[in-house]
Amino acid sequence: MHELGIAQRLIETAVALIPAGAPPVALLRVQLGALAGVSKDELLFGFEAMSPDTSCAGARLEIEEVPAVVHCPQCGIDFPVADVDQLLCPTCGSPAVLVMQGKELILTSVEIHETEVHDEAVHA
């Protein structure tokens, strides 16, 4: 399950992005393409397994699934596909398609916990 390694890399990247002494990570947002070869459920499991004892402990991993879209240079059309077995143009049947989106795995944002500041003025 290579999702464990991917989860570890996401955690390492998030930790490297936050400044030293910052509050812990609250949320990581990721875009995951339909053709990326990564299971959403296994990535979520991997993140939960790899995040304890890191600045991401207790953080949520939010995954936006990106559909696959391919382009047919023959017809000039873009069309969605469900998987790599459907990479034929629906208009001309050409197998010469270019993947335009759906292979990505992108860490789009990292949010840290907000810290509350209490004004504890002492009255004499």
pLDDT in tens, 52-81: 999 999 999 999 999 999 999 999 999 998
Q: What is the pTM of this model?
A: 0.81
CATH architecture of 3-112: 2-Layer Sandwich (3.30)
Burial of 40 (0-12, 13-18, 19+ CB in 10 A): middle
Rounded to 5°, angle at Cα 108 from 102 and 113 = 145
Two structure tokens written together for 112: 């840290």
pLDDT at 115: 52
Top pLDDT among 49 and 21 is at 49
Of 14-23, 28-37, 64-73, 108-117, the one with minimum mean pLDDT is: 108-117
Angle between helices 3-17 and 40-50 (to 10 degrees): 60
Query: Tokens at residue 17, please?
Result: 């992005």
Angle at 110 between CA 105 and CA 116, to 5 degrees: 165
C-alpha–C-alpha distance, residues 12 and 10, integer Å: 5
pLDDT tens column, 89-123: 889 988 878 889 999 999 999 999 875 333 343 33
Edge-first strand order for the sheet with 25-33 is: 60-66, 25-33, 105-112
